[in-house]
Amino acid sequence: MAESESQEENCDDRERKVENFEMDVEELLEKIEELAVHITWMTFDSIAIQTNPDLPSAMQRLENAYLTCKEQMEKKWQEVLME
């Protein structure tokens, strides 16, 4: 009787290990996919910058506009919270 319980526990333990392994592999695959997409966009951006010399300055202006807008939104949000 004790042997069958021990075997069941071993089987349950193995099943959990297999499930954990599968989840770990799935998480790693998702991370690899995310990295692959990120690398693809970096490559695309690099090629775009090399082929269009005006793009970096346009991107800088866009980033500055975004940061200014973000700053204004934070100020407005603080004003709303103070009221």
Please write the tens of the pLDDT for every residue from 13-63.
888 988 899 999 999 999 999 999 999 988 888 887 778 778 778 889 999
Q: What is the pLDDT of residue 68?
A: 93
Q: What is the pLDDT of residue 5?
A: 65
Q: What is the pLDDT of residue 3?
A: 59
Q: How would you write 44-67 as a 3-class SS string?
A: HHHHHHHHCCCHHHHHHHHHHHHH
Contact status, residue 13 vs residue 20, Cβ threshold 8 Å? no
- pTM score of the predicted model: 0.47
Q: Give the separation between CA 59 and CA 64, rounded to whole angstroms.
A: 9
